[in-house]
Structure 1
C-alpha cells in the first residue's frame, strides 16, 4: 500500500511538472509570435491547460533537454529532480547537486523536447554557473568586520610557473585553490 501511495505521489508530481513546463512553453511560443498550430502541425490545438507537448525531461543542472535513448538520473525519493549523464558525473565527483540518491534510467524514444524549445536556451546560464564555480572562491580563511576574507597572501617561489615573470612575486589564493591547482 505504501508503494501505491508513493507511485501516486510521483505521478501527481510528474503531472504538475508537465503542466508547469507546458504553461512556460505556451508563454514562450506566444511571446515569440509563433502560431500555436505550428507546434504540432495537423493536430487541433486545445486551448485549455490540458494541452500537452508530450513527456520529456530537462536536466536540473545544465538546463538542457534530455534526448531520447540517453541516460537520465532521477531522485530516488520522488523529488522533481533529474540530471543528464554529464552533470551526474560532475555531481558524483564534485559538489553534490541533490541531497538524495539518484536512480539511472533511459529516456524513452518518444520523449522529444517540444519544437518551441530553442537549442541553447539554458546553455548561457549553465556557462555562467560553471564560471562562477571556477573563479569565485568561497573558501574564506577568516572574518574581518563581518566580511569573509577569501584570499590569503602567498609568496611565490622560484619554481612556480607564476614566478617566471620578474614583476610577479605573489598571488592571492585560498588554501583549497592552491591544493587543487598545485602551483605553490
Structure 2
C-alpha cells in the first residue's frame, strides 16, 4: 500500500531543520513508519510505501511555496511550476489538468491545498488531530492515527445503495475520517480546514 500523509496544526512550532512530526500526549514525536519526508515542520508531508523515484516529484518556487506530485504525472517540471504559481493565486483546476493519475499537494506559507481528482479515483481523506488536521490518500492510516471506530451508518449505506455515491456523501468506514468529494480540494490554513470546489 502506498499513500501520502501530512498534517497542518493550528500553531507553528520551531524545530530543527529537516525535522517533522507531532508530539503526542506521551511527549514522543509521531511520524509514519517507512516514510520519506517531502517537507518538514510546521506542516509536514510524507510519501509512505514503495514509490518509484519518478512517482514522487517536488518543485519549489521559494522556501514557502512548493508542490509535491505523487503518482504518474505527464507534466514537466516547468508545467508543475506554472501550476504551482496558478494554485498560489487560487486557480486549483490547473492541478488536475495534466495527464496521468496523481495527487498534487501545494504549500504556500501555512496554506496547504490538496486537490482531489474529478472522478474520485484518487481520493483524499482528512480528520481532526493534534490541534489541527491530518490528511492522506488512504483512510485506514488516519483511522489508526485517531483510533477510530467503524462507522456503521456508512457501512449500512454502502450495503443498501452500493452504486449510489450520494448515499455515502463524505463518509468513510471510520468514524471521524472524512473524504474530500470528487472535484473538490482540501484547503488547510494553519490547521483550519475548508473544502472548496473547483471548475475543470
Same topology, TM > 0.5: no
Instruction: Please give the TM-score of this superposition, normalised by the length of structure 2.
Output: 0.20
Higher strand proportion: 2
Q: Which has the larger radius of gyration?
A: 1
Higher helix proportion: 1
